[in-house]
Structure 1
Amino acid sequence: MPADQVANARAVTVEPLRRWQAHPAMAIRDQGGAAVGQMPASFDVDRSAGALLAGVQGDGALLTGEAASR
């Protein structure tokens, strides 16, 4: 695949995932008590939101049968 197509494909997939990841990250920050010190300083909100997103995507692949078709 030519480099410009790779860049376009990346832009089409990465940016929506970043926006989607921002939602659970915001919820974790808002509901998790980060502002009042209820979470340890070492807790990585963005990484946790990414893990949540990966789990949702994995479950979706399993439910739709995508994982089996690869």
Structure 2
Amino acid sequence: MSLDPKIVKAIEEAVAEADQEPALARRLVAWMQAITSGSEDPNDVSRAERHLELLYEGTTANRGRGGMF
């Protein structure tokens, strides 16, 4: 099964709206594609933790929004 292009577009738009780097969308899409293709086991806790760590590192809170933090 492949990832629906509408989901890819939604991820890219959400990342852009959140003022995040495009690399974050690419990482999310790549992980979701790996899961849907069966090459990645979403139940493998250590792999999931690694993916989440990379996503966390690639996310910036309140970037460019004049937030409190």
| TM norm. shorter chain > 0.5 | no
Higher relative contact order (CA 8 A, sep 6+): 2
* Rg comparison, structure with higher value: 1
Query: What is the TM-score of this pair, normalised by structure 2?
Result: 0.34
Higher relative helix content: 1
Query: What is the TM-score of this pair, normalised by structure 1?
Result: 0.34
